[in-house]
Amino acid sequence: MITCVVDYVIDPAKLDAFEEFARRWMHLVNAHGGTHHGYFLPSEGASDKALALFSFPSLAAYEEYRALFGNHPDFIEADQIRDTSGCVLRHDRTFMRPLLP
């Protein structure tokens, strides 16, 4: 299993758009072989930081999911929310191996 951790810098004035973007991606990950663990949004402290965590059974399964980017209409529509609104200023993706109980 691999877990992708996405660290976002967001525009705090566009949090509603980011939440819509996040809901779409949670559905897409779950519908295409992954398990989304949620988005973690600003509460106290920095107001421009957000995180997403989701897992796939293997790197190969993640690559199958990634192959849909830019090709599948639902993926294109989800990205348009981000691109049109400007809610995401930057993001970084890191892959981790979870240690579970």
Average pLDDT of the chain is 94
Name residues whose C-beta falls within 8 Å of residue 46's C-beta, 6 or more positions apart in sequence: none
Question: Is pLDDT of 21 > 90?
Answer: yes
Helix (H) or strand (E) holding 21, with range, is helix 15-31
pLDDT at 100: 79
**pLDDT value of residue 53:** 97
Q: Does domain 2-94 have CATH number 3.30.70.100?
A: yes
Q: Assess whether pLDDT exceeds 90 at residue 46.
A: no
- pLDDT of amino acid 68: 93
pLDDT recorded at residue 20:
97
